[in-house]
């Protein structure tokens, strides 16, 4: 193994870890050579109502696609996350909650969480929610959000969590796609000292003429502020809970019955409703949570992701609760009111495992390490990173300043679609290299292919694909199975295409280089450039728009928009601000363009296709080597764009 920048597994971690390097190699080999045997054993980590006898029935052939795991077994996800832990003592802490204001503290034991979930499951039933119905959850980071999710799982309803930062329009399209009759929300959320008008956003979404399906809105009182109220439609969470029974036997679900929907952006069209099912997902979330974070009973685990993203689903709710973990949940952001907050929270709650995103690390790094002078950090053992490539400088800062050089970092690569972590170090097994997600997790068969789909061997760079199924894999795009097949299985026949590019080094370690499609990753939030473009062109003064990502010091990628205005419209700073606000209103704050360049024309082929590679290079200030422009209808457009490009340094 090349020793350049290699961080060895600390001896004490290797000695006590659930998986050491020898075990990793042996288990990985077994998982690939004998998947049925491997998963037959791993499936036993959760409780089944009717045990499975069938393990894996999968094919990535686009003509005969099938993904089935543990498919004759039955179970209930909420019973696995709650009921089965009660035997060891219902007093075990499930959630430690800290408000945006650190003076707000709550804890919920597994017994209390179970009680709340059962009551809320009965509430949902009382509102007519049945097995198989989609329930939309638009909530802040409070324990009730986990309660709502697990209550859906208890009665076999499919939850669809919409991130609290999304706009009314985004809520409307998701609610409509799932034909949700019930929305669960809160009066307001609180984040970074500001309140977020969640109920107001739901009200606006429901004014949308296309949204006819919603009958009930259940509202949690979080701040108590004045809100608009529709009699007959809106109901308070607390008044329903007071009447509800705490007795609710879990629904017996098939392993392949849907558990949840979660919308994510692709290269084209509207966000896709990624559908995950029950058995395989839960086995995979629980197993990866335990092994990747080397989770030991009693440890305090903190994942800073919002529950509105897949990380919040798999590694704040399902994985940890299936393992009976104690989860720290934070309502706000870990660098508010000051960058010291992260360290204060680790010390205050004696956090053992921290899972966060590179964008936070870079933001803290920019503020300076002096904010961590008082930080003790002695409880911390393992640190994770997720959502985007972590640059080696940020990795080292995280290792030194937060991990005090003794905590292994697990840089975990995965996607909404994958349900769980696929490429990652294991703390006790894998020597790490800053910036590399290292090796595949159990059962995962990654490969690199060229643009024709030929498999590349050895140290190489190419498109990252997966050659075989794993239990946590998404099963379909809700309501559009053809799009599922087309998006993931047609680019390279017989393989799942991730949309990412990657490099494999001489040690077999993977280095994710980023998206190779028209998806960008802004502060770990995934966005389709097409979504931002269609928001821009919906503005009356915009004739055309092209959006690309560009390197951004804190966010990883920023949003760079080229905008052509309609005839006779003068560009102005005011209009630029107006367009930024417009996109924010259409999609949500995370989609606000960082930079808008006025463009009298865009580089197009003769058939009218926008050539984004030129736009990406201009946005990145890489204008010396633009490549062949001869296929453009009007090559002179490029010079004009370069002349007027924005100086972003």
Helix (H) or strand (E) holding 259: strand 258-264
The DSSP H or E segment spanning 618 is: helix 612-619
Residue 415, annotated as binding a ligand: yes
Task: Determine which residue in the list 121, 135, 386, 575 makes contact with ligand PRX, applying CB under 6 A.
Answer: 386
Region from 326-334, 514-522, 610-618, 638-646 binding ligand PRX, contact rule CB under 6 A:
514-522
Residues in region 524-543 near ligand PRX by CB under 6 A: 526
List of residues 6+ apart from 315 with CB closer than 8 A:
285, 289, 303, 305, 355
User: Residue 339, annotated ligand binder?
Assistant: no
Q: Which is nearer to ligand PRX, 320 or 499 (CB)?
A: 499
Alpha carbons 473 and 594: distance in angstroms, whole number: 33
Residue 418 Cβ vs ligand PRX, minimum distance, rounded to whole Å: 7
Nearer Cβ to ligand PRX, position 339 or 549? 549
Is 194 labeled as ligand-binding? yes
Query: What is the C-alpha separation between 118 and 250, in angstroms, rounded?
Result: 9
At residue 304, the 3 state secondary structure works out as coil
169 is known to lie in a ligand binding site: no
Closer Cβ to ligand PRX, 178 or 389, answer by number: 389
CA proximity to 115, closest of 145, 140, 150, 87: 150
Residue in 112, 323, 326, 415 binding ligand PRX, rule: CB under 6 A: 415
Among 120, 163, 301, 414, binds ligand PRX (CB under 6 A): 414
Give 300's contacts (C-beta < 8 A, 6+ positions apart). 96, 326, 328, 349, 350, 351, 352, 353, 379
189 lies in the binding site for ligand PRX (CB under 6 A): no
Of residues 145, 160, 412, 523, which one binds ligand PRX by CB under 6 A?
412
Contact residue for ligand PRX among 165, 389, 427, 440 (CB under 6 A) = 389
Count CB-CB contacts under 10 A for residue 633.
Answer: 14
468 binds ligand PRX (CB under 6 A): no
Closer to ligand PRX by Cβ: residue 147 or 423: 423
- Find the binding residues for ligand PRX in span 215-244 (CB under 6 A): none
Among 388, 468, 517, 531, binds ligand PRX (CB under 6 A): 388
Tell me the CB-side half-sphere exposure of residue 549, using CA atoms within 13 A.
24
**Which residue in 226, 224, 218, 221 sits closest to 244, CA to CA?**
218
Question: Residue count at the site for ligand PRX (CB under 6 A)?
Answer: 22
Residue 324 in the binding site for ligand PRX (CB under 6 A)? no
Shortest distance in whole angstroms from residue 311 CB to ligand PRX: 5
Q: Find the residue with minimal CB distance to ligand PRX.
A: 416
Among 80, 311, 463, 469, binds ligand PRX (CB under 6 A): 311
Report if residue 500 touches ligand PRX, rule: CB under 6 A. Answer: yes
| Residue 558 binds ligand PRX (CB under 6 A) | no
Stretch that binds ligand PRX, among 76-84, 507-515, 558-566, 608-616 (CB under 6 A): 507-515
Radius of gyration of the chain (CA): 24
Q: How far is CA 336 from the centre of its chain?
A: 22
Token pair recorded at residue 383: 């640190």
Residue whose pair of structure tokens reads 């109920």 in the numeric block:
199
Residue 451: left (phi > 0), alpha (psi -120 to 50), or beta?
Answer: alpha
Three-state DSSP state, 442: coil
Tokens of 425: 């170090």
Half-sphere exposure of 620 (CA within 13 A, CB side): 16
* Of positions 332, 419, 499, 558, contacts ligand PRX by CB under 6 A: 499
Q: Is 515 a residue that touches ligand PRX (CB under 6 A)?
A: yes
Q: CB of 167: closest distance to ligand PRX in angstroms? A: 18
264: which 2 tokens? 């994510």
Q: Is 381 annotated as a binding residue?
A: no
User: In terms of Cα–Cα distance, which of 573, 591, 572 is closest to 582?
Assistant: 591
Q: Is the Cα dihedral 280, 285, 288, 290 positive or negative?
A: negative
Asked if 164 and 306 count as a contact pair (C-beta separation under 8 A), the reply is yes
**CA nearest to 305, candidates 78, 558, 524:** 524
Query: With binding defined as CB under 6 A, does residue 413 bind ligand PRX?
Result: yes
Chain contacts with ligand PRX (rule: CB under 6 A): 264, 310-311, 386-389, 411-416, 437, 498-500, 512, 514-515, 521, 526
List binding-site positions for ATP: 387-389, 411-416, 500, 515, 526
Annotated binding site for Mg(2+): 537, 539, 542
Annotated binding site: 191-194, 311, 335, 387-389, 411-416, 500, 515, 523, 526, 537, 539, 542, 584
């Amino acid at each position: 193994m090349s020793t350049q920048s290699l961080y060895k597994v600390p001896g004490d971690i290797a000695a006590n870890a659930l998986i050491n390097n020898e075990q990793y190699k042996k288990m990985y080999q077994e998982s690939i050579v004998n998947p049925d045997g491997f998963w037959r054993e791993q499936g036993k980590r959760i409780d089944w109502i009717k045990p499975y006898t069938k393990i894996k029935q999968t094919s990535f052939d686009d003509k005969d696609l099938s993904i089935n795991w543990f498919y004759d077994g039955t179970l209930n996800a909420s019973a696995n996350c709650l009921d089965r832990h009660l035997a060891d003592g219902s007093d075990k802490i499930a959630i430690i909650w800290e408000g945006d204001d650190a003076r707000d503290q709550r804890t919920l034991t597994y017994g209390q969480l179970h009680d709340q979930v059962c009551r809320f499951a009965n509430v949902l039933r009382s509102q007519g929610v049945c097995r198989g119905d989609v329930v939309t959850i638009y909530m802040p980071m409070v324990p009730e959000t986990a309660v709502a999710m697990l209550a859906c799982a208890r009665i076999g309803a499919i939850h669809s969590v919409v991130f609290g930062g999304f706009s009314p329009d985004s809520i409307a399209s998701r609610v409509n796609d799932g034909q949700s009759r019930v929305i669960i929300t809160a009066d307001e959320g609180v984040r970074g000292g500001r309140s977020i008008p969640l109920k107001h956003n739901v009200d606006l979404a429901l004014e949308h003429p296309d949204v006819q399906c919603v009958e009930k809105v259940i509202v949690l009182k979080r701040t108590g502020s004045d809100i608009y109220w529709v009699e007959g439609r809106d109901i308070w969470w607390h008044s329903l809970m007071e009447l509800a029974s705490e007795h609710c036997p879990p629904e017996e679900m098939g392993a392949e019955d849907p558990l949840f929907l979660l919308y994510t952006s692709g290269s084209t069209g509207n966000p896709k409703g990624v559908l995950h099912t029950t058995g395989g997902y839960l086995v995979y979330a629980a197993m990866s949570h335990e092994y990747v974070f080397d989770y030991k009973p009693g440890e305090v685990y903190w994942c800073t992701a919002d529950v509105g993203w897949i990380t919040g689903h798999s590694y704040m709710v399902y994985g940890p609760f299936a393992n009976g973990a104690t989860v720290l949940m934070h309502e706000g952001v870990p660098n508010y009111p000051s960058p010291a907050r992260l360290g204060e929270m680790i010390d205050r709650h004696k956090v053992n495992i921290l899972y966060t995103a590179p964008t936070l690390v870079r933001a803290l790094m920019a503020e300076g390490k002096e904010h961590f002078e008082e930080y003790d950090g002695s409880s911390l053992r393992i640190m994770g990173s997720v959502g985007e490539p972590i640059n080696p400088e940020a990795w080292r800062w995280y290792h030194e300043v937060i991990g005090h050089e003794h905590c292994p970092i697990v840089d975990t690569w995965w996607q909404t679609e994958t349900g769980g972590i696929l490429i990652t170090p294991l703390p006790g097994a894998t020597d790490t290299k800053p910036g590399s997600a290292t090796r595949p997790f159990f059962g995962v068969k990654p490969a690199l292919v060229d643009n024709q789909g030929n498999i590349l061997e050895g140290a190489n760079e190419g498109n990252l694909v997966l050659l075989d199924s794993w239990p946590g894999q998404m099963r379909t795009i809700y309501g559009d199975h053809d799009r599922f097949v087309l998006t993931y299985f047609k680019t390279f026949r017989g393989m799942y295409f991730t949309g990412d590019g990657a490099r494999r080094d001489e040690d077999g370690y993977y280095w994710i280089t980023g998206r190779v499609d028209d998806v960008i990753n802004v502060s770990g939030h995934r966005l389709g450039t097409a979504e931002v473009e269609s928001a821009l062109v919906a503005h009356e003064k915009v004739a055309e728009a092209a959006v690309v990502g560009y390197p951004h010091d804190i966010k990883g990628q920023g949003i760079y928009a080229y905008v052509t205005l309609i005839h006779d419209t003068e560009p102005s700073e005011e209009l630029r601000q107006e367009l930024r606000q417009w996109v924010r209103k259409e999609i949500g704050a995370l989609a606000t363009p960082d930079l808008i360049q006025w463009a009298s024309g865009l580089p197009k082929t003769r058939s009218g296709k926008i050539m984004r590679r030129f736009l990406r290079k201009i946005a990145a200030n890489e204008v010396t080597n633009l490549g062949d422009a001869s296929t453009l209808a009007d090559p002179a457009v490029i010079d004009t764009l370069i002349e007027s490009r924005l100086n972003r340094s």
